Amino acid sequence: MPDYKIIVFLCNWGPHAAFQHLQDQGADIPSEIKMIRIPCSGRITKALLLRSFEMGADGVMLLGCQSGTCRYGSGTRSAHGNTSETCRILDLMGIGADRLQLDNFLPDRPQVLLARLQAFVRQIYEMGHSPILPHASVRGEAPAALTPEAIVAAHDVFACQDCGKCTSACSLALAGKPYSPREIANRIIAGRADDPDVRQAVNACLTCGLCYERCPSAVNFPAFIRSMRAYYHHHRLVEAPTHGGFFQSMMRAMTAENLLPRRWRDLPAEIRTRAGAPVLFFGGCAPYFDIFFNRFLGVQTARILEDSLRLLNFFDVEPAVLENETCCGHDLLWTGDRENFLRLARRNARAFADSGAGELVTACPECYHTLAHDYPENGVPLPLTVTHIHEFLEREIDKGAVGFKPLGATVTFQDACRQSRFDGRSDLPRKLLARMTGTELLEMPESGSGAVCCGNSAWTGCDAYSKSLQVKRITSARQTGSEVILTACPKCQIHLRCAMEDAMRAEDLQLETMDLTSAIARTIYWEGS
C-alpha cells in the first residue's frame, strides 16, 4: 500500500551507521519509510513528533543511540521522555500510542534494525491510516473583512483619543517591555500592518484586556488583535508559538472527525457520571497539560476536573461526560486560526446536541468564555446553557446546609483574565472564598478586574517579559503574606509554576498553587452529617 507514510527519525551516530549498512547491502527496507537523519534523538521535541502526524504520517519511529552512548550525554534520556509523553497524549486523543515508537541502536546490529523497521510497518498496517487529517496547506481567498483597513474599521480603532491610558495599564508595559497598544494601532492604521515589527508586536499581546478595561473610548484592543492575527494567519505570517506549536498542533489534530479520544478513562472509581444525564460536564485540555508539563512543573490540572466532578456529585448531580469532546478551540481562535476553531466548535456543538443535555458545566474560564460567547458570536449557537463551576457552586452553597473545614493556610487569588475582565465575574470566586470558613483572602494590590495577567495566553508570544510579569505576580502574592496562591484557570497555574522553576531564584519564588475548585472540594462538608 504505497499511500502509507512512516517517518523514521534516525540519529546520525549509532543507528544511522546501521541503516547505511542496510542501504549498502540493498536490504529490503520498507518503501513506506521516509528517513530523516537527525543529529541526536534528544533534539526531536514533542512538538516535532506531533507535527509529523499533522503532516500526514501514519507512524513515527525515533531511533537513537543506546543509553550511555549518546554523544551529547542526555539525548537518549530526553528522547525517552519526549516519546513516552507524546505517546500518552496520542493515546488520550484517540490517535493510538503505538503509532509512535522509540528504539535505540548501535551501528553493529543492522539486521536487528531491519527486522524492527519491518515489524513496525506491519504494525502500522494493522492499525490502518492515522485518523488525523493532514493540515491543509492551501487556503482560500481572504474574506473581504480580513484586511487591516476593514479590521480597523470593524473595531472602530479610529475612536482612539490617543490618551495613552492603555499603554500605562498594559501588563507587558508594566513588566518593562517597551510596548504600546495605541502605537501598534497607529502603525496598522498607517498601513504598516505587514511590517515584521508590527506583526511581532501583535503576536506578543497577552490579550489580557487590561487596556480595554481602562480605555475611555472602549477600543477593544484584544478583539482587534485577534482579528489581526486571523489576517496574519491567513497570509501565513504567524510568529513562532510557544512550545514549538505543540498545543496548536494538538488542537488542529482534534478536528479529525474519526478520532476516538479516551480522555475520561482514568477517572477515580468513586466519581459518578451518567450517560444521558441532563447536566453535561466539559473538561477541556487540562489532562493533556498535565502530561506535557509533568517532568518540569508538577502541575496537576486534571485534578481540577476530578474535583469539579466530585463537587457535582456532592450536590447530587451525576453529570454526563463525552469521550468525543475536543478542545473548545480558545487558543486557535486567539492565534488567528478561525478555520480550525470553527471545525472544533461545530464538532463539539454536534456532540452536545446528541447528548440531549440542557446544561453544560465547565471548570475553565477560557472554555466558559469560548463556549458561552465565542461559539454563538461565530455562528455556532449551542443547544444548552453554559455554566461555570463557580456559578454552579455559588448557586448550590447559597441554598445552605453546607460548611467548610479550614483550609489551614492563608491565601491570595490570581484572577483569570477571561473570568475577571472578559466576563466581568471577578465577584464569583470572591463570594465563594467568603463562604469558606477560616479562609481569609489577602488581596494583591492589583486584583479583580484590574488584576495583572499570569504572563501568557493562547500559547503564543511567551518571552522574557512574560517571565518578568510572572515573577512580579508571585512576588506580589508573597508580599501579601499568603502561603497559597489560589488560581481559577489551569493555564495560570502552569504559567506561574513555570516561573517558580527558575533555579537561580528557587527560594524567593516558591508559593503553593492550588485551584479554587480543588480548595473547595477539599474543605466542603454537609452540616449536620
> Least distance from C-beta 505 to ligand SF4, angstroms?
15
Does 336 contact ligand SF4 by CB under 6 A?
no
Contact 146, 232 (CB under 8 A): no
Of the pair 173, 407, the CB lying nearest ligand SF4 is at: 173
Which of 494, 500, 519, 524 is in the footprint of ligand SF4 by CB under 6 A? Answer: 494
Residue 292 as a binder of ligand SF4 (CB under 6 A): the answer is no
What is the residue-wise DSSP string for 243-273? GGGHHHHHHHHTT-TT----TTTT--TT---
Scanning 161-169, 186-194, 232-240, 521-529 for contacts with ligand SF4 by CB under 6 A, the matching segment is 161-169
- Comparing CB distances to ligand SF4, the nearer of 124 and 304 is 304
Positions in 241-280 near ligand SF4 (CB under 6 A): 242-243
3-state helix, strand, coil in the chain (%, to 5): 50, 10, 40
User: Segment 294-323, which members bind ligand SF4 (CB under 6 A)?
Assistant: none
Position 428 contacts ligand SF4 (CB under 6 A): no
Task: Check residue 219 for interaction with ligand SF4 (CB under 6 A).
Answer: yes
- Asked if residue 375 lies in contact with residue 344, where contact means CB atoms within 8 angstroms, the answer is no
Note whether 132 and 53 are within 8 A (CB).
yes
Which residue, 345, 350, 309, 304, is CA-closest to 327?
345
Least Å from the CB of residue 287 to ligand SF4: 16
94 binds ligand SF4 (CB under 6 A): no
Q: Verify binding: residue 211, ligand SF4, rule CB under 6 A.
A: yes
Q: Tell which one of 199, 263, 473, 495 touches ligand SF4 (CB under 6 A).
A: 495
Binding ligand SF4 by CB under 6 A: which of 8, 114, 498, 514?
498
Q: State in angstroms the smallest separation of the CB of 252 from ligand SF4.
A: 18
Helix (H, G, I), strand (E, B) or coil at 470: helix
* 516 grid coordinates: 479554587
- The least distance separating ligand SF4 from the CB of residue 247, rounded to whole angstroms, comes to 9
Cell of 282: 466539559
Question: Residue 184 or residue 342: which is nearer to ligand SF4 going by CB?
Answer: 184
Tell me if 170 contacts ligand SF4 by CB under 6 A: yes
Nearer to ligand SF4, 129 or 214 (CB): 214
**How big is the site for ligand SF4, counted in residues (CB under 6 A)?**
36
Q: Are 182 and 160 in contact (CB under 8 A)?
A: yes
Distance in Å, CB of 66 to ligand SF4, minimum: 31
Residue placing its CB nearer to ligand SF4 in the complex, 18 or 205: 205
| Residue 476 C-beta: closest distance to ligand SF4, Å | 17
DSSP codes joined into one string, 81-125:
HHHHHHHHHHHHHTS-GGGEEEEE--TT-HHHHHHHHHHHHHHHH
The cell for 272 is 459518578
The three three-digit cell numbers of residue 117, written as one number: 523497521
Decide if residue 64 touches ligand SF4 (CB under 6 A): no
> For ligand SF4, which residue of 208, 271, 305, 364 counts as binding (CB under 6 A)?
208
Q: How many CB atoms lie within 10 A of CB 20?
A: 14
Pairing relation of β-strands 279-282 and 359-362? Answer: parallel
Checking 430-433 for CB contacts under 8 A at 24+ apart, the result is: 431/394, 432/390, 432/393, 432/394, 432/397, 432/516, 432/520, 433/486, 433/516
Handedness of CA 91, 97, 100, 105 (dihedral sign): positive
Kindly identify the residues of this chain, within the stretch 177-206, that bind ligand SF4 according to CB under 6 A.
181-182, 205-206
Instruction: Tell the smallest beta-carbon distance from residue 459 to ligand SF4 (Å).
Output: 6
Angle at 94 between CA 4 and CA 346, to 5 degrees: 100
Taking the complex as a whole, the smallest distance from the CB of residue 167 to ligand SF4 amounts, in Å, to 7
Task: Check residue 217 for interaction with ligand SF4 (CB under 6 A).
Answer: yes
CB of 239 to ligand SF4, least distance (A): 14
What the block records as the C-alpha cell of 503 is 533555579
Binding residue for ligand SF4 (CB under 6 A) from 70, 215, 304, 411? 215
Here the contacts of 267-270 (C-beta below 8 Å, separation 24 or greater) are 267/306, 267/309, 267/321, 268/306
Alpha-carbon span 433 to 435, nearest angstrom: 5
The gap from C-alpha 469 to its chain's centroid, in whole angstroms, comes to 19
Check residue 65 for interaction with ligand SF4 (CB under 6 A).
no
Spatial contact of 87 and 153, defined as CB atoms under 8 Å apart: no
| 143 in contact with ligand SF4 (CB under 6 A) | no
Kindly state whether residue 79 participates in binding ligand SF4, applying the rule CB under 6 A.
no
What is the arrangement of strands in the sheet containing 359-362, beginning at the earlier edge strand?
Answer: 320-321, 279-282, 359-362, 385-388
In the stretch 447-486, what mask flags binding to ligand SF4 with x, by CB under 6 A?
Answer: --------xx--x--x---x--------------------
Binder among 41, 76, 171, 487 for ligand SF4 (CB under 6 A): 171
Cell of 443: 488581596
Q: Which is nearer to ligand SF4, 111 or 168 (CB)?
A: 168
Question: Which span sits near ligand SF4 by CB under 6 A: 42-50, 163-171, 283-291, 382-390?
Answer: 163-171
Under the rule (CB under 6 A), what is the footprint of ligand SF4? 160-166, 170-172, 181-182, 205-211, 214-217, 219, 221-222, 242-243, 455-456, 459, 462, 466, 494-495, 498
